[in-house]
Amino acid sequence: MIKQVSAVGALLLSLAASTSHAEEYLTGIEWQEPPIITPGEKPSDAPSDAVVLFDGKDLSAWNGAETWKVEDGAMVVGKNMIESKETFGDCQLHIEWSAPTPPVGESQGRGNSGVFFGPYELQVLDSYGNKTYFDGQAASIYKQRPPMANAMRPPGEWNVYDVVWTAPRFKEDGALESPAFITVIHNGVVVQNHFELLGNTPFSDPPSYNKHDLKQPIRLQDHGNPVRFRNIWVRETKPAVGKRTREPFRRDGDKETPITAAK
Ligand code: MG
């Protein structure tokens, strides 16, 4: 016992010694303080800086939703694709959806809808015991990439997508400057990990990038199935802001030593 205590004591002493004599590495970048937000009570609740697109009450945040209905706090797909009145560039999206029960149809005909960032579809489909082409099942980037796992809940239960979206950038002449990227978490499971989109996601054509404004509406697809959605919110994401004020250096008390850049 005594031996153990003294071993711990020695370790603490050596840590203290190494801390007091260590030179600290400093980046030379002055970072702005990140914005302070209030998170939701649960991770699925909208944080204070989110734009709420649907809170269970009405469809006022959407264009084209005349035939979509609100029932029991959920919105039900109607006769055409709807799009958010507000537009978004890089963002985080939370959306919950539920496939019709009892299930009707098969393959692409069962519980099909879609979450679109402008012209790019993240597939919504009842993929619970329902085979279809893999790059068209739930949480696929349509006709580009299947999800890394099928994390579906059964029809009637609620599925959750948490999405990190990086919008593509275009040059003045229409050429692609940087592609879109998407990360998708489906019911707590990472199913797309910073996937680089090849372009848009049409049914009949290969993907292509066609110049558009950075900010696009979020769109929800009508594919003829009464899929339900609820608790939809979006946060714009902005990189941390910093400015280099000097080259990296080490500091030990008052002594500062520049770090020579690696050759
Ligand atoms: Mg679809």
Domains defined for the chain, CATH in brackets: 2-32+242-258 (no CATH), 51-236 (2.60.120.560)
At residue 22, the pLDDT reads 83
The position carrying tokens 């959750």 is 160
Q: Give the up-direction half-sphere exposure of residue 216: CA atoms within 13 A in the CB hemisphere.
A: 23
How far away, in angstroms, is 143 Cα from ligand 1 center? 11
Backbone dihedral angles phi then psi of residue 210, each to the nearest 5 degrees? -125, 125
Backbone dihedral angles phi then psi of residue 5, each to the nearest 5 degrees? -60, -45
How far away, in angstroms, is 45 Cα from ligand 1 center? 25
**228-233 average pLDDT score:** 98
How far away, in angstroms, is 222 Cα from ligand 1 center? 8
pLDDT, one tens digit per residue, over 16-55 is 444 556 899 999 999 999 999 999 999 999 999 999 999 9
Contact 216, 117 (CB under 8 A): yes
Q: What is the largest CA-CA distance in the chain?
A: 77
pLDDT, one tens digit per residue, over 89-133 is 999 999 999 999 999 999 999 999 999 999 999 999 999 999 999
Rounded to the nearest integer, the mean pLDDT of the chain is 93
- 9, pLDDT greater than 80: no
At residue 21, the pLDDT reads 60
At residue 177, the pLDDT reads 98
Buried b (16+ CB within 10 A) or exposed e, 48-75: eebbebbeeeebebbebbeebebeeebb
pLDDT, one tens digit per residue, over 244-259 is 999 999 999 999 999 9
How far away, in angstroms, is 78 Cα from ligand 1 center? 14
At residue 260, the pLDDT reads 79
Give just the sign of the alpha carbon dihedral 152, 155, 160, 164. Answer: positive
How far away, in angstroms, is 125 Cα from ligand 1 center? 7
How far away, in angstroms, is 136 Cα from ligand 1 center? 8
